[in-house]
Chains A and B, each alone.
Chain A
Amino acid sequence: MHELSLMQSIFEIVEDELKNHELVYVNQIKLKVGELAAVQKEAMQFAFSVLQMGTVLEGARLEIEYVPAEAYCAKCEHRYRMIKYRVFCPLCGNVGQIVSGKELYVESLEVNDGERDQTCTKCTQSK
């Protein structure tokens, strides 16, 4: 439900970064989203498609990598997948520490630094 406002924050991060690098084109944005982040992939893609119109991100792709929820039991030295969000260690039943699944960050950008490239449709169109 809050994917639209999350996407607005993502746009701010990306636009800042583009300014820093004096870049104009973005081909792809890579996002990492944890299973526990309460973020829906489809809603993110939809928010992206709505917000990108008329911005420097128009035409860019959004790639979302899902990170499964995992916890670690110090007693058993066992890292395990949290099935149905349960934190208990499957070996001993103790409460483990959540080690992954809460991620929500922009991992990387694939950018075009603007040098004319014959394979780039944007460049050939503008000629």
Chain B
Amino acid sequence: MVKEIKLVQNVLKANERVSEQNRNIFAENQLLAINIIGSPGAGKTTLLERIIQNIVERKAIAVIEGDIYTTRDAQRIEACGVDVVQINTGGGCHLDAPMVQEALTNLDLDELDLLIIENVGNLVCPAAYNLGEDFKMVVMSITEGDDKPEKYPRIFQEAKVLVVTKVDLLKYNQFDMDRFLAEVRGINPGIKVFQISNLTGDGIKELVGWLEEQRNYKREEQICSV
């Protein structure tokens, strides 16, 4: 006999469960966790190098590097003098919460207060998988074109902060910043935006200042709740 079974089960429930566990681990350790998402070549790793170079208290930072096959990015970040854990997804297009949880076992969480997770280069899939992070940072370069927000709305909707990179190339490009930002804010009116150049260093100080603020908020939040 044919019958119907009602289920209503979230497809991502397994990931959501582990991401909640990760969130608790971050909270217990007063650790601000950021999930960086952007296309291959957007400048995520270079941005990360710039951020780390501009932070004075570098000892308390660790990075989780997501990459499909190589350890190239991890080697670059390690050279900046912070702890790095490499996750190779072996073909997978995104990091998920269990991968991050396993990576955490390689870090001395007590000693850290900022964890930056660089996701696999991809503007689509990583947006769907929460890792337990405090917020998502979307990194997009102007050479990708000003029409992208509407083509990849999910990530622009989910992110708390947008970093627009390669602005030193604006003079060689047809990228219309006003049009782009209007489209971004139509999808996510509250998103924080930084325009930077990894090459010239423009905008990096402002971004790092904002990140330090977020780091302090997280510390204070924990002190209040204890």
Chain A contacts to B: CB under 8 angstroms:
1-2, 5-6, 9-10, 12-13, 17, 21, 27, 31, 36-39, 84-88, 95, 104-113, 115, 117
Residue of A38, A111, A113, A117 with most partner-chain B CB within 10 A: A38
Q: Is the CB of B189 within 8 A of A87?
A: yes
Query: Is the CB of B56 closer than 8 A to any CB of chain A?
Result: no
Q: Is the CB of B2 within 8 A of A110?
A: yes
How far is it, in angstroms, between the C-alpha of A13 and the C-alpha of B17 when the chains are bound? 14
Query: Is the CB of B7 closer than 8 A to any CB of chain A?
Result: yes
Q: Is the CB of A115 within 8 A of B94?
A: no
Would you call the interface of chain B mostly helix, strand, loop, or mixed?
A: mixed
Query: Is the CB of B116 closer than 8 A to any CB of chain A?
Result: no
Query: Is the CB of B186 closer than 8 A to any CB of chain A?
Result: yes
When the two chains form the complex, which single residue of A6, A12, A36, A112 contacts B2, counting CB atoms closer than 8 Å?
A: A112
Q: Is the CB of B187 within 8 A of A108?
A: no
When the two chains form the complex, which single residue of A13, A21, A87, A113 contacts B9, counting CB atoms closer than 8 Å?
A: A13
Give chain B residues whose Cβ lies under 8 Å from the Cβ of A21: 5
Q: Is the CB of B186 within 8 A of A85?
A: yes
Give chain A residues whose Cβ lies under 8 Å from the Cβ of B4: 108-111
Q: Is the CB of A111 within 8 A of B2?
A: yes
Q: Is the CB of B11 within 8 A of A113?
A: no
Q: Is the CB of B7 within 8 A of A17?
A: yes
Known pairs A38-B154, A84-B150, A111-B5; A10 contacts B11 (CB<8 A) = yes
Query: Is the CB of B169 closer than 8 A to any CB of chain A?
Result: no
